[in-house]
Amino acid sequence: MTLCIFGAGGHAVSVWDAARTQYDDIFFLAHTAPAVGGARLCGRPVFVGEDPLAPGVPPFDALFVAVGDNAARLALTKAVMARALHVPVLVHAAAYVSPLAQLGPGTCVLPQAAVNAGARLGAACVVNTGAVAEHECVLGDGVHLAPRAALGGGCVLGEGVWIGIGASVIQGTAIGAWSVVAAGAAVTRALPARCLAAGVPATVKKFYGET
């Protein structure tokens, strides 16, 4: 089985690491060649282009969008799925995902992360290294839990939410779509959409405009 990873930045390297035990062959496709290494990344070839079905791009069985930006990753994943290409779920061999959890296409779970029973994650989510989505959490599409971020049980995160490195969200808390929780924050109450919350306990610092 061959996997095409779309992207060639830092997140793409992490995705390769999660995928390498599950695919016989992996290559990258990116808008531009990586700054370091040029035509190869993780020892695998990097093809430059935007269309995975363009002439010159090798055939593949599945395509995974590995772009760090939540909005871009979600939009690209939807575009790939609209072309009926197979978008897998990737779980690193050293992660834990409960058999009672659900993960949407294009979602990855990286080493030492845990997704516990009854959690439901949408498409194109990232559960980064050591992050925890406790029991019965519900994550919309395009959510990113950064390394060591932790959600208590039953949290509900809207589309595109980004929980920064080491931040915590107490159980049962709702966070509105496209909000950002800054690194190290402790969220103790519900947050509206499109806000930045930071600090311990977290308070709303500002709102982001529509894009």
Ligand X SMILES: CC(C)(COP(=O)(O)OP(=O)(O)OC[C@H]1O[C@@H](n2cnc3c(N)ncnc32)[C@H](O)[C@@H]1OP(=O)(O)O)[C@@H](O)C(=O)NCCC(=O)NCCS
- Which residue numbers are catalytic? 135
- Bridging pattern class, strands 156-157 and 144-145: unpaired
What CA–CA distance (Å, rounded) separates 165 from 181? 9
* By the rule CB under 6 A, 179 interacts with ligand X: no
Could you tell me the smallest distance in angstroms from the CB atom of residue 191 to ligand X?
13
Q: How many residues bind ligand X (CB under 6 A)?
A: 14
Structure tokens at 195: 């806000």
- For ligand X, which residue of 57, 174, 182, 193 counts as binding (CB under 6 A)? 182
- For ligand X, which residue of 70, 107, 116, 128 counts as binding (CB under 6 A)? 128
Q: Which is nearer to ligand X, 58 or 199 (CB)?
A: 199
Q: Which is nearer to ligand X, 53 or 208 (CB)?
A: 208
* By the rule CB under 6 A, 184 interacts with ligand X: yes
Could you tell me the smallest distance in angstroms from the CB atom of residue 150 to ligand X?
13
Q: Which of residues 9-68 bind ligand X (CB under 6 A)?
A: none
Half-sphere exposure of 149 (CA within 13 A, CB side): 27
Spatial CA neighbour of 210 closest among 188, 187, 191, 194 = 194
Place of tokens 């931040």: 167
User: Where does residue 67 rank: exposed (0-12), middle (13-18), buried (19+ CB within 10 A)?
Assistant: buried
Residues found near ligand X in the complex (CB under 6 A): 128, 146-147, 164-165, 180, 182-184, 196, 198-199, 205-206
